[in-house]
Amino acid sequence: MIYDFLIAPFAEFDFMKRALVGSLALALGSGPIGVFLMLRRLSLTGDAMAHAILPGAAVGYLIAGLSLPAMTIGGMVAGVTVAFLSGLVSRFTALKEDASLATFYLLSLALGVVLVSARGSNVDLLHVLFGTVLALDDAALFLIAGIATVSVLTLAAIYRPLVLECVDPGFLRSVSNAGAPVHMVFLALVVMNLVGGFHALGTLLAVGLMMLPAAAARMWTQDVTVMLILSAIGGAVSGYIGLLVSYHWSLPAGPAIILSAGGLYLASLAFGAQGGFVQRLVPVRHLEA
């Protein structure tokens, strides 16, 4: 019974194996990225950037159809362009970066939907918006795994200045000029992981495995390193549970994965060791003899 419910779907069906491997790779790469976005109070930036890649992916779709290289290159170019333009707007106008990102996010989403609809069917549009995690092929898996590998290695290389920029950017500016380059490298990692998530979960859900496990991890620890590990584990568990729920109850796989991550987040809100609801209800005794 336990085998049939927990293991058999992945042992018997190749598409479930591929979906699980893709979900695990996404969790490994995007979970730690989400932690740094959260620590830098840029959580909504991830959502805006996820939608920003849509026009580029749509242009790639118009040129080559559902081609992995074309949509990947288009999405990366669009994401980097929007990040650059929003930075220019915030630097040379009265608009703050969050306002400019929100503007580009809305324009990008609308433009991407129009471009996909101009050539494709409603099915193609649904694939672009919500992903096809159960239809990942070898090329998509290699892409997602490659992005996860590059992300982990790059985060290891820039870990110290990136953490310092999160907790005390003023001190980092006073002792080093690494702040700006590290910020640009980090934004590039955000775009890369969103593009990888786009192929599996679509542009509307790609940010889910990036932010929900990170927010859940924050409720359990204040140690950044532990937070990074917990976010990756949380994303992997969410992918596994979501795929099982999708298989046994015939639900869409991508939304089921994100809902699983949401359930993990809600459980962490309730029982987390760092300010969870239950902990706050338990009286804490001070200055006992």
For the record, the structure tokens of 135 come out as 């239809």
What is the mean predicted confidence (pLDDT) over 236-256?
Answer: 94
Whether the predicted pLDDT of 121 surpasses 80: no
3-class DSSP assignment, residue 26: helix
Distance (Å, whole) CA 89 – CA 160: 29
Question: CB–CB of 165/172 below 8 Å?
Answer: yes
Whether the predicted pLDDT of 289 surpasses 50: no
Distance (Å, whole) CA 39 – CA 163: 9
Whether the predicted pLDDT of 41 surpasses 60: yes
Out of 73-87, 94-108, 255-269, which region has the weakest mean confidence (pLDDT)? 94-108
Distance (Å, whole) CA 75 – CA 86: 16
Out of 26-30, 120-124, 138-142, 277-281, which region has the weakest mean confidence (pLDDT)? 120-124
CA torsion sign for 87, 90, 96, 100 is negative
The highest-confidence range among 56-60, 85-89, 165-169, 190-194, by mean pLDDT, is: 190-194
Whether the predicted pLDDT of 242 surpasses 50: yes
Instruction: Give the chain's mean pLDDT.
Output: 87
Higher pLDDT, 219 or 113: 219
Give the position of tokens 């300010």: 275
Q: How many residues does the chain have?
A: 289
Higher pLDDT, 90 or 80: 80
Please report the pLDDT score of residue 287 as a whole number: 55
Distance (Å, whole) CA 226 – CA 222: 8
Question: CB–CB of 246/256 below 8 Å?
Answer: yes
For the record, the structure tokens of 273 come out as 């060791």
Out of 150-164, 175-189, 267-281, which region has the weakest mean confidence (pLDDT)? 175-189
Please report the pLDDT score of residue 230 as a whole number: 96
pLDDT one-digit tens code per residue, 163-190: 888 887 777 777 777 777 888 889 889 9
Please report the pLDDT score of residue 61 as a whole number: 82
What percent of the chain has pLDDT above 90? 46
Whether the predicted pLDDT of 102 surpasses 50: yes
Of all residues in the chain, what percent are helix, strand and coil, respectively (each to 5)? 85, 0, 15
Domains, the chain, ordered by start: 2-274 (1.10.3470.10)
What is the mean predicted confidence (pLDDT) over 222-241?
Answer: 95
Please report the pLDDT score of residue 145 as a whole number: 95
For the record, the structure tokens of 138 come out as 């070898």
Question: CB–CB of 239/5 below 8 Å?
Answer: no
Higher pLDDT, 79 or 263: 263
Please report the pLDDT score of residue 97 as a whole number: 67
Higher pLDDT, 281 or 37: 37
How many CB atoms neighbour CB 204 within 10 A?
A: 20
Whether the predicted pLDDT of 123 surpasses 70: no
Please report the pLDDT score of residue 17 as a whole number: 95
